Amino acid sequence: MANFDREIDITRNIKIIEWLKSELLTDVANLFKVLANGMKQEIHETVSETLSNIILICYLLGRRLGISYSSIEAKIENKIKLGLIEGSNAEKYYGDLSELSRHLNLSRARKEE
């Protein structure tokens, strides 16, 4: 009986992974479609909503694949540090990585209070 429950759990996990992958592709396609129409003030909310969906789906997909949220966040932090060291274009021209690093550090500090 326990083997049957395990098979159901594996099947359920595979289904949710496939659903998350589909949702991710749909949201990326929607983002491209919105951006192809040009950045107008009225689509700002749509882009924000779509990007937040993509980030959320990535976290959930990682979790279903056995990757912890903290591991994902550590990888993000490492990529930010590497981008700062290597002087990526996003950092060099706009300071995006420095700003993101400050934002994440402030968010973490607020949670610890």
Q: What is the 3-state secondary structure (H, E, C) of 29-60?
A: HHHHHHHHCCCCHHHHHHHHHHHHHHHHHHHH
How do the domains of the chain map onto residue ranges? Answer: 1-67, 68-113
- Identify the pLDDT of residue 1: 53
pTM above 0.95, yes or no: no
Kindly tell me if the per-residue pLDDT of 4 is higher than 70: no
Q: What is the pLDDT of residues 81-101, one digit of tens each?
A: 999 999 889 888 999 999 999
Which of 1-10, 13-22, 34-43 has the weakest average pLDDT? 1-10
**Residue 87: left if φ>0, alpha if ψ -120 to 50, beta else—which one?**
left
- Identify the pLDDT of residue 9: 86
